Structure 1
């Protein structure tokens, strides 16, 4: 799909939850919206300038009727999407420039500023419902957990915190230890049981919800530069539970699989320009992933084209497994019929042996015993060689599958780590 040029740096982008429409927040303070279709055509739909200062953050409600914008001017503007008009302005909503916003429930959304202050807002009220001050550096990302009505925030101060939006307390219910690195982005994996956090040093830190938010349980290095933004794959893809999209300051949008750690490939290339935001349309369940950096364009990439080879490979593997199982069943049937015929031959030989005289019977018995001994020895040698070859195969399988990416778990001292080869992304 052709790139959508906007003419200036993009700070944030967000898709309409149901329509083929993408909104961008620009350095000039403009809000630009574009429609797109499956053939790659796009059309400019909306241009607003709520503020002369940069627009850094966007949020949209569940039906796409209201769009909230904020930025360096410290104000929050509400835009009615169907009419394209600004219907409300909350002046001086923060004491510092607003860096991130997130829609939470039907009437509630959150905002975070450069000083680490998080505020909860009711769209029906002009003033903030609550304000939180547990962070002392910029708020980099939000993640909402609807099952627990919890808001997870990441910050440049090296910690993440968890806020219960139902509680009237202005303290978080949990906050991590200092991770000794700026936390820039967060995304859920494994059905929301674990969470991946992107950091300034290019490490993916993994938190386990069941083990608490105090510290990460694993660390996956490999990105050569900071991981500024993360995004989950649509749930329709088989690998979505452990595969994420990462946007790095080196300009590459990658598909990375975790458990086991594996680079699936580069989805989009922004050249030397850092990637600020990535998102998937249709509420995260669509076919297009949008990415924006400093080169003044939106790149829309068709996920079906990127991952169709993966689906085809999985189908081929399943077919191969089924064929192997079918061949194994045929061979077992053949071997079973062979054993039946051999048993019939034995019975016939026993019946014929009754007609021999005593001397001939003794000689035949001796010959049969010697033959049985030789056959038994041959079978034992064959079985042992088969066992040895099978053991060698298993040994090779274990050796090859043990660590395909040279990932080694370090000693359990302090934090748990998953170390990866330094050349994890060296070829890209």
Structure 2
């Protein structure tokens, strides 16, 4: 599908839960809605400008009739999706710019600002129901756990917190230790028992619900730049419980499988523009994934084509493998189950080469005979810039990488 030009930078996007409509929040303060079809055609539905200041966050009701917008103006706007008109405005909803909005239940909405303040709203009332100030830096993302009626938030202060919206106290149910890194995004994996959190340093931190929220239980390196946004793939795919889409500031939207860790491929490339947001249509169960960076266009990518192509490549690779390579792959999968990514295996194997070459020229010759076969086995992952960067890093930090994974 061709890109949808919007005329300026996109800060947030969200899909209609049932119709082929996508909404974008723009730098100019506009909220623009576009319709699209399976043939790649798109048209403008409406454009409204609640404020002259940037629109950073969007949320939509379960039935798709109401759209909420917020941003630097510190106000919360309600837009009628059918008419494209603003039907309600809560001025100065926060004392700082609003960075994130999340629709939780029929009559419950959450918002988070640049000062770390979280507020709960009943859209029918003019004032906030509750306000929480346990964070001291910007709220980067929200995750709603409907089974426990809990709101999980990530913050630039390096902590993750859990709020029980039913509790009377304005204190979090739990808050993690300082992760010493900005937490930028969060998605559930493994059926909601675990959670992947994207960080400023490009590490995926894994939290286990059964182990509490005090600290992460796993850290998966590999991304060369910050992981600004995360998204689940539709549940119709076999590996959906452990496969996520990661949007990084290097402009690459990747499909990454966890446990074992494996790069499935590049979904979209935004060049040198950081990816601000990513979402899948039809309530996360659709065919199209939308991603936006700083290049003033909305990219819509067909997930079906991406994963079908990847499945075809995997089948071809498996047909061409011999018994030895199959054993290597099986061992590699076992290592990644203990938090050692497959991408690190490639780096460590190559990191041994300089030592062997310095010891004996004959050993160097024997390694040359084996190395092309090993590289051929890893080549489908090396196509992604993520792998190229990790290889260089592995050579320069041999001891550090080994000691780090030895402790896990």
Return the TM-score normalized by structure 1.
Answer: 0.77
Deviations 1:372-421 (A, max 9, x none): xxxxxxxxxxxxxxxxxxxxx7x875544212697595xxxxxx876952
The answer to whether the 8 A contact 1:229-1:278 is kept is yes
Q: How far apart, in 2, do the equivalents of 1:194 and 1:404 lie?
A: 19
Q: Which runs of 5+ in 1 are unaligned?
A: 321-392, 410-415
Q: Which residue matches 2:364? A: none
Alpha-carbon distance, 1:163 to partner: 0.4
Residues in 2 aligned to 1:79 and 1:288: alpha-carbon distance in whole angstroms:
24
State the partner residue of 1:300.
300
Alpha-carbon contact 2:260-2:341 (below 8 Å) kept: no
1:160-239 → structure 2 map (5 Å cutoff): 160-239=160-239
Separation in structure 1 between the aligned mates of residue 325 and residue 117 of structure 2, nearest angstrom: 55
SS at match of 1:308: helix
Q: Distance in 1 between matches of 2:290 and 2:222?
A: 23
* C-alpha contact 1:112 1:119 (8 A) present in aligned 2: yes
Paired positions, count: 349
> Is 1:262 the equivalent of 2:191?
no
Alpha-carbon distance change, 400 to 66 in structure 1, aligned in 2, over 3 angstroms: closer
CA distance in 1, matches of 2:31, 2:160: 30
Q: Which residue of 2 aligns with 1:131?
A: 131
Do residues 427 (structure 1) and 388 (structure 2) align?
A: yes
1:262/1:405 contact within 8 Å kept: no
Higher CA-based Rg:
1
Query: What's the counterpart of residue 68 of structure 2?
Result: 68
Q: Give distance in 1, aligned partners of 2:328 and 2:316.
A: 24
CA distance in 2, matches of 1:417, 1:175: 27
Q: Distance in 2 between matches of 1:133 and 1:258?
A: 33
The alignment partner of 2:105 has SS state of coil
**2:232 is the counterpart of 1:271:** no
Aligned partners of 1:277 and 1:291 also within 8 Å: yes
Q: Please point out which of 332, 354, 365 is paired with 1:403.
A: 332
Contact kept, 8 Å, 1:3 with 1:300, in 2: the verdict is yes
CA contact (8 A) 1:116 1:155 kept: yes
Aligned to 1:338: none
Local SS of the residue matching 1:78: strand
Please give the secondary structure, in 1, of the residue aligned with 2:388. Answer: coil
CA–CA distance in structure 1, aligned partners of residues 333 and 51 of structure 2: 52
The DSSP-based 3-state class of the residue aligned with 2:309 is helix
- Residue 123 of structure 1 and its aligned partner are, at CA, apart by 1.0
Normalising by structure 2, we get a TM-score of 0.81
Is the Cα contact below 8 Å between 1:202 and 1:225 reproduced in 2?
A: yes
Change (3 A) 1:85 1:194: same
**Residues 279-299 of structure 1: CA distance to partner in whole angstroms, max 9, x if unpaired?**
000000000000000000000
